[in-house]
Chain A
Amino acid sequence: MIHNTWKVVGAILAKDLKVAGSQGALIVLLLVFPLALGLFYGLMYQNVFDQNITWAPLTVFLLDETGEADQGFIGKVLNVESLPFVQKRIVSSVRGFEESLAEQKDAVGIAIRRVEGQTLIYWHPIGESSLEKSILLQAVEKGIEEYQWQFRASVFLGSEAESFQKVWETFAARPLFREIAREDIRVLSTIEYFLISLFAAFGFMFSTEFLRDREQKLLARAFMAGIGKSTLYWSNFLSNFIIFFAGILVYFAIVFGLILRSSIAIVPFFGIAALQALVVSAFQSLAGGLFKTNKTGLAFILPALFVMLYLGGAFYSVNQEPTMEKIANFLPNYQLFKLYEGLVLGHPYQEASRAFILLAVSTVMAFIGWFAFTKKEVI
């Protein structure tokens, strides 16, 4: 029985491979179209999004009446290595501070003063607002927030403050204060972005002939060979998975090997590619299970594809807008994109939770399709 089932899987796979081989349109849809479109968009927008930022030096005059400028939080914030544009000047008196600022056309003064037993921090920007000043101000505000938390923790918890922080981080599974690693600053280039995002979306169009076979009664004919509906359904699912998985490998061999020439971790790549093949096969099998004709199937697939294309960030980065990103998180192509993004940026396991979400979604879709297919008459 099991032997016969594998014979059926083999027959359907061999047939699908022959059909796929005879259809140039399929190759175009799967490989050439996303490649061409990805390169087109990537090259078109690279001058808009891929500009290298050249930092303008920002002179920062620091007056610290507490005497902690080099050790305390301001000292950390004004570290030249973390903020490469900062040129720190320590001044020792209020008069020196004011005179120094008066001579400047573009600078920032930060004064940490003791007034009636309180520590006050003064922010004195000179000249027009700039990206560098905004970044520095955010860093200072973040530093103050962190300092206040630590101060309160030490007041309330005393010597237990440090151990509380460790316990909190254990339960929350993240650091209390996120340190931004240098590597995180690297983002995908526009070409990388579009080559991945378009394939993640258009890949959902890939299907073997399950729906067409059903419409043209080829499935009914196979059913007449005494093959059960479940065997037919899962054989087609598996065939779709294997062929699309091979297609993904070819696509990314071209993208990573020939176009981007980037090195990626092979094991997680195979995992993500298998996941993409799984979710696409589940999606197509769902359509094949629910609908009897190509026309009705496409009426389901095409709107879904358009939603994925436009809300799932295939054509633009949804990260710019928090609401859009929240919506995109519901779409499988965005989840796939984030997995590939992590792979390219060198932290493939950082978004592992997305892989589990996709696995769950694929399972649900595949089983709904199976249920519908086995409950309906085949013709």
Chain B
Amino acid sequence: MYEIAIHNVTKRYDDQLALDNVSARIEEGEIFGLLGPNGAGKTTLIHLICGLIGMDSGDILIGGRSMKTSPEELKAMIGYVPQEIVLFDSLSVKDNLEYFGRLYHLSGMQLKEKMRSASEITGLNDHLKQKVKKMSGGMKRRLNIACAIMHDPKILILDEPTVGVDPQSRNHILESIRKMNRTQKTTVLYTSHYMEEAEAICDRLIILDLGKELVQGTKKEIIRTITNETVVEILTDHLPNDMTEAFQEILGVKKVSITEEKIHLIIDSSDHIVEKVVRLLSAREVKIRNLSVDNPTLETVFLSITGKALRD
């Protein structure tokens, strides 16, 4: 069994609380999303699961065994793809794969076979002799993943693996993760800034902010938490300075976010609030260039809960 159970984990860096009593359970064979803005505690939680840092309180169990008591055996089950590109720049793709394979005690034919399969999954089989420093950002990201899956890990942990990647490489990376999950029943823990990625591949999610768990569940369950809300986006030609306060005075407006000439509102689905908003804008002589009313997405859930966009 390769499920991950996180029990009331707390971690501090000096006086700063990085994780505050976070709990979650990641089932074997599922793709679990870990979402949150910068400073939410995502990477800290990943480092704790990987046993790279120690926790102040709580425990993390993998397959029922604690990371505190059997760290080396548990680490060998995990494939960890760090947020940064952690590779030897001056070496080739093949040399990098070989090095990490050897660290996992692979050798001979077995090593060659694993190098072949890892490079195939990540689409690097035609680039084995290429030096890492001459590769594009997307290709490096793929190699970053390939090095982590050399030993066929039961659990794959990816910390924002698609940052700064071109759409083609991003699709390839996401497809590789799905394929590993589907064919090898790999348990995947995935963090991202990109909500659409999380929506596309994750079975369940947890949203963190400032080290605290905000919400957890399947995509549908999470969206249901704000199901009586509607998202309104209005594009205008200009906006007076005090519009945020003016919108907040309308009963039923829950969140207001204004960037230049774009207004983003989360409102109650009832009570003709859209009409009140339009009336307010025309009273202030603001011309509406476009207005859209949408059902909530994970992005709007996040905005609703935290009051800020995921990429802030």
On A, residues with C-beta under 8 Å from B are 4, 7-8, 10-11, 14-15, 18-19, 22-23, 216-218, 220-228, 377-379
Query: What CA separation (Å) do A201 and B91 show in the bound complex?
Result: 30
Chain B residues with CB under 8 Å of A224's CB are: 50, 52, 75, 78, 80
Contacting B52 at CB < 8 Å: which of A15, A18, A225, A378? A378
Q: List 13 A-B contacts (CB under 8 A).
A: A10-B102, A18-B95, A19-B90, A22-B90, A218-B86, A221-B100, A221-B147, A223-B52, A224-B80, A226-B73, A226-B104, A377-B53, A379-B52
Contacting B100 at CB < 8 Å: which of A14, A23, A225, A226? A225
CB distance B90 to A4 under 8 Å? no
CB distance A217 to B86 under 8 Å? yes
On B, residues with C-beta under 8 Å from A are 47, 50, 52-54, 72-73, 75-76, 78, 80, 82, 84, 86-88, 90-91, 95, 98-100, 102-105, 107, 147, 151
Query: What CA separation (Å) do A220 and B50 show in the bound complex?
Result: 10
Query: What CA separation (Å) do A79 and B84 show in the bound complex?
Result: 78
Chain B residue with Cβ nearest A8: B103
Q: A7-B105, A14-B102 are in contact. Are A228 and B72 (CB under 8 A)?
A: yes
Query: What CA separation (Å) do A221 and B84 show in the bound complex?
Result: 11
Chain A residues with CB under 8 Å of B72's CB are: 226-228
CB distance A225 to B86 under 8 Å? no
Chain B residues with CB under 8 Å of A225's CB are: 75-76, 100, 103-104, 151
**Candidate in B73, B84, B90 with the most chain A CB atoms within 10 angstroms:** B90
Chain A residues with CB under 8 Å of B90's CB are: 19, 22-23
Query: What CA separation (Å) do A227 and B88 show in the bound complex?
Result: 19
Closest CB-CB distance, A224 to chain B, in whole Å? 5
Chain B residue with Cβ nearest A227: B103
Query: What CA separation (Å) do A15 and B95 show in the bound complex?
Result: 8
CB distance B88 to A218 under 8 Å? yes
Contacting A11 at CB < 8 Å: which of B47, B52, B54, B103? B103
Contacting B102 at CB < 8 Å: which of A11, A23, A216? A11
In the complex, the 7 A-B pairs of residues with the closest C-beta atoms, listed nearest first: A11-B102, A226-B76, A225-B103, A22-B90, A226-B75, A226-B72, A224-B80
Chain B residues with CB under 8 Å of A14's CB are: 98-99, 102
Chain A residue with Cβ nearest B131: A22
Query: What CA separation (Å) do A8 and B78 show in the bound complex?
Result: 18
Chain B residues with CB under 8 Å of A22's CB are: 90-91
Chain A residues with CB under 8 Å of B52's CB are: 220, 223-224, 377-379
If over half of B's interface residues share one DSSP class (helix, strand or loop), that class is named, otherwise mixed; here it is loop
CB distance A221 to B82 under 8 Å? yes
Chain A residues with CB under 8 Å of B75's CB are: 223-226
Chain B residues with CB under 8 Å of A223's CB are: 52, 75
CB distance A217 to B95 under 8 Å? no
Chain A residues with CB under 8 Å of B102's CB are: 7-8, 10-11, 14
Chain A residue with Cβ nearest B104: A225
CB distance B80 to A221 under 8 Å? yes
Closest CB-CB distance, A30 to chain B, in whole Å? 16
Chain B residue with Cβ nearest A228: B72
Chain B residues with CB under 8 Å of A228's CB are: 72
Closest CB-CB distance, A248 to chain B, in whole Å? 23
New A-B pairs, 20, CB < 8 Å, besides A222-B103, A225-B100, A226-B75: A7-B105, A7-B107, A10-B102, A14-B102, A15-B95, A216-B86, A217-B82, A218-B86, A218-B88, A220-B52, A221-B82, A222-B100, A224-B50, A225-B75, A225-B104, A226-B73, A227-B72, A227-B103, A379-B47, A379-B52
Closest CB-CB distance, A24 to chain B, in whole Å? 11
Query: What CA separation (Å) do A169 and B47 show in the bound complex?
Result: 66
CB distance B100 to A377 under 8 Å? no
Chain B residue with Cβ nearest A19: B90
CB distance B84 to A216 under 8 Å? yes
CB distance B53 to A4 under 8 Å? no
CB distance B91 to A18 under 8 Å? yes
Chain B residue with Cβ nearest A235: B103
Chain A residues with CB under 8 Å of B88's CB are: 15, 19, 218
Contacting B91 at CB < 8 Å: which of A19, A227, A378? A19
Chain B residues with CB under 8 Å of A227's CB are: 72, 103
Chain B residues with CB under 8 Å of A10's CB are: 102
Query: What CA separation (Å) do A222 and B100 show in the bound complex?
Result: 7
Chain B residue with Cβ nearest A220: B52
Chain B residue with Cβ nearest A232: B103
Chain A residues with CB under 8 Å of B100's CB are: 221-222, 225
Query: What CA separation (Å) do A378 and B107 show in the bound complex?
Result: 26
Query: What CA separation (Å) do A227 and B73 show in the bound complex?
Result: 9
Closest CB-CB distance, A210 to chain B, in whole Å? 13
Chain A residues with CB under 8 Å of B50's CB are: 224
Query: What CA separation (Å) do A221 and B50 show in the bound complex?
Result: 10
Chain B residues with CB under 8 Å of A18's CB are: 91, 95
**Candidate in B52, B80, B84, B98 with the most chain A CB atoms within 10 angstroms:** B52
Chain B residues with CB under 8 Å of A218's CB are: 86-88
CB distance A4 to B47 under 8 Å? no
Chain A residues with CB under 8 Å of B82's CB are: 217, 220-221
Chain B residues with CB under 8 Å of A379's CB are: 47, 52-53
CB distance A4 to B86 under 8 Å? no
Chain A residues with CB under 8 Å of B99's CB are: 11, 14-15
Chain B residues with CB under 8 Å of A11's CB are: 99, 102-103
Chain A residue with Cβ nearest B96: A15
**Candidate in A7, A18, A224, A227 with the most chain B CB atoms within 10 angstroms:** A224
Chain B residues with CB under 8 Å of A377's CB are: 52-54
Chain B residue with Cβ nearest A213: B88
Chain A residue with Cβ nearest B150: A225
Query: What CA separation (Å) do A224 and B100 show in the bound complex?
Result: 10
Chain B residue with Cβ nearest A224: B80
Chain A residue with Cβ nearest B77: A226
Query: What CA separation (Å) do A4 and B50 show in the bound complex?
Result: 21
**Candidate in A220, A223, A225 with the most chain B CB atoms within 10 angstroms:** A225
Chain A residue with Cβ nearest B157: A224
Query: What CA separation (Å) do A7 and B99 show in the bound complex?
Result: 11
Query: What CA separation (Å) do A224 and B148 show in the bound complex?
Result: 9
Chain A residue with Cβ nearest B101: A11
Closest CB-CB distance, A256 to chain B, in whole Å? 32
Query: What CA separation (Å) do A156 and B50 show in the bound complex?
Result: 81
